[in-house]
Structure 1
Amino acid sequence: MKILVVADPLEAFKITKDTTFAMMRELQKRGHALAACEPEHLQWQSGQPVTAQVRHVALTGDADAWFKATGEGREPLHTFDAVLMRKDPPFDSEFFYATHLLEQAEREGARVFNSPRALRDHPEKLALMEFARFAPPTLVTRRPEAIRAFHAEHRDVILKPLDGMGGMGIFRVGADGMNLGSIIETLNQGGATSVMVQRYLPEIVQGDKRLLLIGGKVAPFVLARIPQGSEVRGNLAAGGKGVAQPLSDVDRRVAEAIAPTLAARGLLLVGLDMIGDKVTEINVTSPTCFQEIQQQTGFDVPAMFVDALEAALA
């Protein structure tokens, strides 16, 4: 099959940990042909199908020059057997527009994963609210007074922007309310920007767990991202230590309650974040942690993903 990967520039990949690279390596291993482009290479001209300026690539096995281009040109997306949308956040206006072009390509016959409409319908912080019974007390608001009232009720809270990634812009405010006003001003920007506030979960010291939902099933291992030193964030990008662990009974029960709903909406791959027994985020744009789990446990997450992709295309 011919597979098009829409992602950040290949030259910027850190292949020792990049999940998209792990997907591509498994796809090539199975004999699938690979091509790649960036969202900026998508194009839709009236009366014509959605196209992209693509590079056909082959993985070399060389750590330094890990791919080589075998050809390039502008091609309709519907001529590929599958399109993998793997652009990293932020979910900005250009990402939003890219999903519209990809959805038009679907109408022309393209198979896109994750579904462009599902990407739009499940912003990674807000998607949590549909499954509030599995989440800690959570507030999304632009009103500073509502944030203050939530803090007064729960005393120890986490504040974060809706469009953050990798732990960016996350703050903890304890019972003394130290710096709450300044943090609200920073995140809320005078009422212009929505903020998510959640009750602090002390179980974070055991790690912010990334569960992988693939084709409606739950991978048997999670990656617990454990904060280091005085850091409150477990995100790997914020210096957290990733420790792979078997899926617990509680993890499985929560994930299996959520996974079928999301899979039915066209979300082939979901990264479910849990602290203790609570879901804190639902990541759908470009979930990661394949390589960390595989390296520590031997479980072949990329193979599980490509199995699910091939089954979806059958």
Structure 2
Amino acid sequence: MALSLGFLMDPLESVRVDHDTTFSLMLEAQRRGHDVYYFEQGWLRFNGRCSEARMRRVKVRREVGHHFDVLSEDVRPLSKLDVLFLRKDPPVDADYLHATQLVELCPDRSPIFINNPSGIRDANEKLFTLNFPDLMPETRVTRELSVVLEFAAKNPQGTILKPIDGFGGKGILFLAPGDRNARSMVELLTQGGKEPILAQAYVPESRLGDKRIILVDGDPVGAVLRVPSDADHRGNMAAGGTPMKAEITERDLLICKRLKPSLQEKGLTLVGIDVLGDYLTEVNVTSPTGLVEASHLDGVSCEARVLDVAERMHGAR
């Protein structure tokens, strides 16, 4: 049975066809005979009764420079979609949060959401992890300079500083013990004490790579190790990290098992968690990446597992 699958995402013209997770999901949906619709956040609106959007039905192909054709374009209520993938990249700003509220305004028939809008709002990718402190490196969240400096003084290996709403490795700083830039770094990230940040004990194993594990309905389906360059402490592929094959360890499976009930309760079907050594550092729920690399390196199809779950959820409805 052909389904109508929508993708709320960034401009399709700008995707990297060899890397983009959303594009890979679209290809798999098309391979299965489903109708693929795409629209951007700015095309979403409310018509007085329900939410609708200007949508493009597209045909996609993994061909750089000619990766999609527009088959039709019209305004459609979201209730006409069977499944809606919320894949708009961060930042999670006011416009983003408003979009997660608008897509829920379908009183007659809501699509199945991947991921659930309320779950996305609840699960900040840095702060949600704090629900599992025993799985994490020692962590503080504060905007106070003195608290960060006191915490950093207790970490002989160094301290990682992160903006709470950062993404793609942007704004992540390594604070070495005794660094004379410490005050300036904290003042910069906190905007002079106005914004809280996350401070985390440095995990030396991060030099070996930052492991992204893809979870579908709470279960691990693939992984990729993102290895930082010699000139950077960040393994994010957006920051120049190199993807390499990764083993899912017993510790990784334990972390996934602990997270699964909370993820399922919040309707977070497609998630990418980040693990450094034995420690969970982030739970990515907005538009987690790494599916293409994990599928290639592990010889699996993570995107097929996602579509399997989407079809099963539709069938159950």
TM over 0.5: yes
Root mean square deviation of aligned Cα:
1.3
Match of 2:26 in 1: 24
Structure 2: which amino acid aligns with 1:307? D
Instruction: Kindly indicate whether the alpha-carbon contact (under 8 Å) linking 2:217 and 2:263 is maintained by their aligned counterparts in 1.
Output: no
Match of 1:244 in 2: 245
Match of 2:262 in 1: 261
Match of 1:212 in 2: 214
Match of 1:11 in 2: 13
Unaligned runs of 5+ in 2: none
Structure 1 residues 260 and 107, CA, compared in 2 at 3 Å: closer, same or farther? farther
Percent identity between the two aligned chains: 35
Structure-2 separation of matches of 1:126 and 1:193: 14
Match of 1:189 in 2: 191
Give 1:110 deviation, angstroms. Answer: 2.4
Deviation per residue, 1:114-162 (Å, 9 max, x gap):
0000000001111110111101111111111111111122241000101
1:103-252 aligned at under 5 Å gives the runs 103-105=104-106, 108-155=109-156, 156-219=158-221, 221-252=222-253
Secondary structure in 2 matching 1:123: coil
Structure 1 residues 61 and 276, CA, compared in 2 at 3 Å: closer, same or farther? closer
197-206 or 141-150: bigger deviation: 141-150
Size of the aligned set, in residue pairs, is: 312
Secondary structure in 1 matching 2:105: helix
Structure 2: which amino acid aligns with 1:89? P
Structure 2: which amino acid aligns with 1:216? G
Structure-1 separation of matches of 2:33 and 2:15: 22
TM-score (norm 2): 0.95
Instruction: Kindly indicate whether the alpha-carbon contact (under 8 Å) linking 2:104 and 2:110 is maintained by their aligned counterparts in 1.
Output: no
Structure-2 separation of matches of 1:114 and 1:197: 28
Structure-1 separation of matches of 2:5 and 2:32: 12
Deviation per residue, 1:34-63 (Å, 9 max, x gap):
0000011110133x2100010011124533
Give 1:169 deviation, angstroms. Answer: 0.5
Structure 2: which amino acid aligns with 1:273? D
Match of 1:282 in 2: 283
Structure-2 separation of matches of 1:106 and 1:181: 51
Structure-2 separation of matches of 1:225 and 1:62: 25
Structure 1 residues 150 and 72, CA, compared in 2 at 3 Å: closer, same or farther? same
Instruction: Kindly indicate whether the alpha-carbon contact (under 8 Å) linking 1:49 and 1:108 is maintained by their aligned counterparts in 2.
Output: no
Unaligned runs of 5+ in 1: none
Structure 2: which amino acid aligns with 1:286? S
Give 1:261 deviation, angstroms. Answer: 1.9
